[in-house]
Amino acid sequence: MSVGTRLENANPLIFQRTGERLQTAKDEDEDVADPIDDREIFDLIRSINDPEHPLSLEELNVVEQVRVRVDDQENTVGVEFTPTIPHCSMATLIGLSIKVKLLRSLPERFKIDVHITPGMHTSEDAVNKQLADKERVAAALENSQLLEVVNQCLISNARTS
Amino acid sequence: MKDTLALLQKFNAHPDSRCWYVAWNPKGTLLASCGGDRAIRIWGREGDSWECKTVLQDGHQRAVRKVAWSPCGNYLASASFDATTCIWKKKNDDFECLTVLEGHENEVKCVAWAPTGNLLATCSRDKSVWIWEVDEEDEYECVSVVNSHTQDVKHVVWHPTQELLASCSYDNNVCVYKEEDDDWECRATLEGHTSTVWGLTFDPSGQRLASCSDDRTVKIWKECQPGGTDTAWKCVCTLSGFHGRTVYDIAWCPLTGALATACGDDGVRVFKEDETADPDQPVFSLSAHVPKAHSQDVNCIAWNPKEAGLLVSCSDNGEIAVWNYQSEV
């Protein structure tokens, strides 16, 4: 998928993917309450595609499990993401893709906050403010062109699924 | 907190969608709601329950963000993400689309009628506020475009009796406008909020303005005229520590003076003013709070203009809730 003609970060550092979550006997037990945890959220977002590279957000270290905070009881999910370069123009799009993925996957009770990892982007506050404005997010998602780009990022990649 | 906020009714107004906004007609007999499903619904009370009287569809191509009744109650204006504002005329129990106001570059966020009904204001993500004049033939003409905000304008509200307009924005500021030699000008910029200002409401007298923000606070502004002709407003009170997330809407009851808020933490709150406090340093206390008023964000809150204590809220889950606020004196 091409967004621009020139790549902003032509040679990104590639990180190793984590393995699959280990299944335990308890996971099969229907009587055990199973709250949504950090790993589950991370599994939802780690295979989102980067808008520029044929790599997942996990492989670019844009998302990490340690930057996911879920509180199932309080119905809150917080995700910090780290753009590969501090002036990345794709930061808002990446954040939007993470937000859309979680909005579509999680029960509606969850409040989803997506932020840039503090200090990791030159327009951190502006991007965070935009991502937190649900009215602008709603309007953006009514834009079919933008929605198409977001959906491309969310198409599950055979290598990472 | 001795006062009570009792749920009278909850109904699904915009299924599988957001309910963005609700507005009472001036008589308090009808409620208009709008949402992400591009529809406007008119609700009326039938005995103990609320029934949908009419659905206004096909007026807009995208989400309808806000609706407003004219002071006479015969017209309804709807602001949409499709960059237009529709004017609907009430005919018996039905509504017909009279005209479509075009001009904004992108999403129209809010629409409001002046107390005389001769003027209408719209605001948009294109950072502008437009003032429209209405003549006897139902013709609408844009008389002024004001560009005082540097970002997305979220809300516009008119003074209850005067031709004074206020707007608030993603740029964290509130602007107050007046007409000056046939042109509308920003006469005061109210700075103080540290993030997006989502809602505004005048107090019943029109001397004070309350604003609510993404910074999770509510601010009360008071008009002070230090001898000059210019309007000057200063923040006389900040309510902080009460809201868990963004405060999306605020409404000052014209009958009781109670102040209600709609919050992104799903809560509905009512604040009451301490009558004995110094008017220049007002004190508000939380008098009622329903923490899980809705299962998702509360987007709007509206007091019935005729029936004291009757309050309506709407939510991201498409529901409308009707509340009875009872204040223990």
* Nearest-by-Cβ selection for A138 from B63, B152, B154: B63
CB contact under 8 A, B245 and A109: no
Residue of B nearest to A144 (CA): B62
Question: What average pLDDT does range A74-86 have in this prediction?
Answer: 96
Within 8 A of B296 by CB-CB distance, chain A residues are: 108-109
Within 8 A of A134 by CB-CB distance, chain B residues are: 264, 297, 316
Q: Is B199 on the interface with A (CB under 8 A)?
A: no
Strand ranges (E), B13-118: 19-24, 30-35, 40-46, 49-56, 64-69, 75-80, 85-91, 94-101, 108-113
- Model pLDDT for residues B5-17, shown as the tens digit of each residue: 999 999 999 999 9
The pTM for the full model equals 0.94
- Model pLDDT for residues B140-180, shown as the tens digit of each residue: 999 999 999 999 999 999 999 999 999 999 999 999 999 98
Within 8 A of B245 by CB-CB distance, chain A residues are: 111
- Residue A160 pLDDT exceeds 50: no
Mind telling me how many Å the CA of B68 is from chain A's nearest CA? 19
pLDDT value for B226 = 60
Within 8 A of A107 by CB-CB distance, chain B residues are: none
- Residue A161 pLDDT exceeds 60: no
What residues 3-22 of chain A have any CB closer than 8 A to a CB of chain B? none
**3 state SS for chain A:** CCCCCCCCCCCCCCCCCCCCCCCCHHHHCCCCCCCCCHHHHHHHHCCCECCCCCCECCCCCCCCHHHEEEECCCCEEEEEECCCCCCCCCHHHHHHHHHHHHHHHCCCCCEEEEEECCCCCCCHHHHHHHHHCHHHHHHHHCCHHHHHHHHHHHCCCCCCC
Inter-chain contacts counted by CB atoms under 8 A, chains A and B: 39
Mind telling me how many Å the CA of A55 is from chain B's nearest CA? 34
- Residue B202 pLDDT exceeds 60: yes
Alpha-carbon gap, residue A122 to A128, rounded angstroms: 12
CB contact under 8 A, B154 and A136: no
- Residue A29 pLDDT exceeds 80: no
Within 8 A of B316 by CB-CB distance, chain A residues are: 108, 134
- Model pLDDT for residues B113-140, shown as the tens digit of each residue: 999 999 999 999 999 999 999 998 899 9
Alpha-carbon gap, residue B43 to B25, rounded angstroms: 10
- Answer whether B303's CB lies under 8 Å from B255's CB: yes
State the first-to-last Cα distance of chain A, in angstroms, to the nearest integer.
19
Alpha-carbon gap, residue B314 to B294, rounded angstroms: 8
**What band does B329 get if pLDDT is binned at 50, 70 and 90?**
low
Report the percent of chain B where pLDDT is more than 70: 98
- Answer whether B216's CB lies under 8 Å from B267's CB: no
Alpha-carbon gap, residue A8 to A84, rounded angstroms: 10
- Answer whether B316's CB lies under 8 Å from B33's CB: no
What residues 79-108 of chain A have any CB closer than 8 A to a CB of chain B? 108
CB contact under 8 A, B63 and A139: yes
User: What is the four-CA torsion angle of B218, B291, B295, B257, rounded to 10 degrees?
Assistant: -50
pLDDT value for A5 = 58
In a 10 Å sphere around its CB, with 0-12 CB exposed, 13-18 middle and 19+ buried, how is residue B73 labelled?
middle
Output the average pLDDT for chain A.
89
Residue of A nearest to B17 (CA): A138
Q: What is the DSSP letter of B305?
A: S
This complex has an ipTM of: 0.94
Residue of A nearest to B194 (CA): A129
Q: How do strand B259-263 and strand B4-12 relate by DSSP bridges?
A: unpaired
**What band does A114 get if pLDDT is binned at 50, 70 and 90?**
very high
Residue (of A84, A73, A1, A83) closest to A37 by Cα position: A73
- Residue A12 pLDDT exceeds 90: no
Within 8 A of B264 by CB-CB distance, chain A residues are: 111, 134
Within 8 A of A109 by CB-CB distance, chain B residues are: 295-296
Beta bridge partners of B24: B31
pLDDT value for A157 = 58
* Nearest-by-Cβ selection for B63 from A109, A133, A142: A142
**What band does A2 get if pLDDT is binned at 50, 70 and 90?**
very low
Of the listed ranges A12-16, A138-142, B180-184, the one predicted with least confidence = A12-16
Q: Is B17 on the interface with A (CB under 8 A)?
A: no
Task: Give chain A's largest Cα–Cα span.
Answer: 53
